[in-house]
Amino acid sequence: MAETGLEPTEAFHYNRKNELKAFDETKSRVKGLVDSGLSKIPTIFINQQYKLERNNLTGFDDDPTLRHEIVKKVGEACERWGFFHVINHGIPLTTLDEMIDGIRRFHEQDKEAKKEFYSRDNSRKVIYNSNFDLYVAEAANWRDTLRDIMIEYSNRVMKLGQTLLELLSEALGLNRSYLEDIGCGEGLLMVGHYYPPCPESDLTLGTGSHTDSGFFTVLLQDQIGGLQVLQQNQWLDVKSIHGALVVNLGDMMQA
């Protein structure tokens, strides 16, 4: 495993168009790069899907030193922030991108096609509505929501969740299986939010300030961003990293 997979990197944030143009204008091709004696390949050549599939969180089981390092980083992130990025988690980029695209396609289809899913009955496996707390919230949020059990993505996230529970258990000084044994990994709720363009974005929010009620949330952001974290009474932007997942502790885990 080449990286710990728990710290954000800058690899996803660069001007790809400019770098492609600069490479093309050298007319030296890849052979020219090799001849120049470079020690690291340019970002345009990095295959992020291959990187994520090759380097995943299951790889540290064979390296006690690396596992100890990751457990330490998870513990520090949870204690200081309650949030951290996970990369090299083993979920292919194609799966992540299809999740985002699938949610967008569902919400942007004809309203008659999705009307049958509109409900506030939480016992249903699939729910599509606007603002689950519409009748009790002080102000409605500018978003529509799809809840669905999406097989491939949910299976992969559940596997990642089991790994995270092990890391959290160890960070707390407990047996590796402790949180799993007491039932922290038994449930899964998937929520797909859609934020349409707003004509008065200075008057409303897509999602108001809140904490999550469960043990922890694994969040897949799109590239638009907008997520913020409250730290020492200051709201800080969470940079969107293509291929990364955001993990945040919930109320039950904090308790």
Domains contained in the chain, number = 1
Query: What pLDDT, on a 0 to 100 scale, did the predictor assign at position 244?
Result: 92
* pLDDT tens per residue across span 64-91: 888 898 999 999 999 999 999 998 888 9
237 falls within a domain? yes
CATH number at residue 237: 2.60.120.330
136 falls within a domain? yes
1 falls within a domain? no
Q: Which residue has the higher pLDDT, 108 or 49?
A: 108
Whether the Cβ atoms of residue 196 and residue 142 lie closer than 8 Å to each other = yes
Query: What pLDDT, on a 0 to 100 scale, did the predictor assign at position 137?
Result: 84
162 falls within a domain? yes
The least confident of 18-32, 174-188, 228-242 is 18-32
3 falls within a domain? no
198 falls within a domain? yes
Residue 69 main-chain phi, psi, to 5 deg = -65, -45
Whether the Cβ atoms of residue 127 and residue 114 lie closer than 8 Å to each other = no
pTM of the model: 0.73
Pairing mode, if any, of strands 245-249 and 83-86?
antiparallel
Q: Which domain holds residue 226?
A: 8-253
